[in-house]
Amino acid sequence: NLVQQLPRAIIIGVRKGGTRALLEMLNLHPAVVKASQEIHFFDNDQNYARGIDWYRGKMPFSFPHQITIEKSPAYFITEEVPERIFKMNSSIKLLIIVREPTTRAVSDYTQVLEGKERKNKTYHKFEKLAIDANTCEVNTKYKAVRTSIYTKHLERWLKYFPVEQFHIVDGDRLITDPLPELQLVERFLNLPSRISQYNLYFNATRGFYCLRFNIVFNKCLAGSKGRIHPEVDPSVVTKLQKFFHPFNQKFYQITGRTFNWP
């Protein structure tokens, strides 16, 4: 009686928030199965046109009592996605993992930079992209900046889903102390608490927590997770932090979850 089930929860973002770590860690729970790949069903028009049965066909086999989770961080920032997910399941649970917005922007930049370097291409410095040369203000057209304005994106989602259907995960704490964050998600998903300290061990070489499923099987995330960020001009960091501040306040207010971001 193994079946392919549509997800009952989706990690909709945020890109570089720790979406992979969150999915893999939730998969430690015996009642959670994960779609291994990012499916990009709701953000990619071509995939969306293939229909819901195509989407279901991408899901892993599971027992009826288990819940399927997928993660595609592009969902959070893509215009059409909230309506499309609503049409599939208006009571679906939505997980958003966030990090301090400036750190997230630099992480996003670092990923793109690495892609350019792999192709032997040069790329602008972060400072050049993040600050408008004419006005010396934050460049709100730069995607890595826009993605970090969490409240703007969330407000689009709230046209379809009530705030209770979202759970915000602290991506910075998932790095340093994952268990409490995972326990909050278990509760949000109405799952019994099953993930324990045994399942998570700090790997000093890796500099991150890794996963222990059982006595024989353990794993760390891929090397592409946890890149070294370039150093950013402190005045640019401050400018960005000041820029994000009011948006962060709004985000805390809407979600009821406060972070001590600058």
Ligand X SMILES: Nc1ncnc2c1ncn2[C@@H]1O[C@H](COP(=O)(O)OS(=O)(=O)O)[C@@H](OP(=O)(O)O)[C@H]1O
Q: For residues 16 and 107, is the Cβ–Cβ distance under 8 A?
A: yes
d(CA 65, CA 92): 16
Which of the following is catalytic: 16, 34, 71, 93?
16
Question: Please, what is the Cα angle at 158 between 25 and 137, to 5 degrees?
Answer: 85
d(CA 204, CA 166): 33
Question: What's the min distance (Å) between Cβ of 199 and ligand X?
Answer: 12
**Coil, strand, or helix at residue 12?**
strand
Question: What's the min distance (Å) between Cβ of 146 and ligand X?
Answer: 15
| Strands lying side by side in the sheet with 166-170 | 32-34, 67-71, 9-13, 93-98, 166-170
Question: What's the min distance (Å) between Cβ of 29 and ligand X?
Answer: 16
d(CA 88, CA 76): 16
Reply yes or no on whether 128 is catalytic: no
Task: State which residue, 4 or 58, has the beta carbon closest to ligand X.
Answer: 58
Is residue 13 annotated as involved in ligand binding? no
Is residue 17 annotated as involved in ligand binding? yes
Task: State which residue, 157 or 209, has the beta carbon closest to ligand X.
Answer: 209
CA distances from 44 to 81, 130, 142 (A): 9, 27, 21
Residue ranges that bind ligand X, judged by CB under 6 A:
15-21, 73, 107, 111, 174-175, 208-209, 221, 225-227
Task: State which residue, 20 or 239, has the beta carbon closest to ligand X.
Answer: 20
Task: State which residue, 125 or 219, has the beta carbon closest to ligand X.
Answer: 219
Question: What's the min distance (Å) between Cβ of 111 and ligand X?
Answer: 6
Is residue 131 annotated as involved in ligand binding? no
- Catalytic residue positions, numbered: 16
Return binding residues: 16-20, 99, 107, 209, 225-229
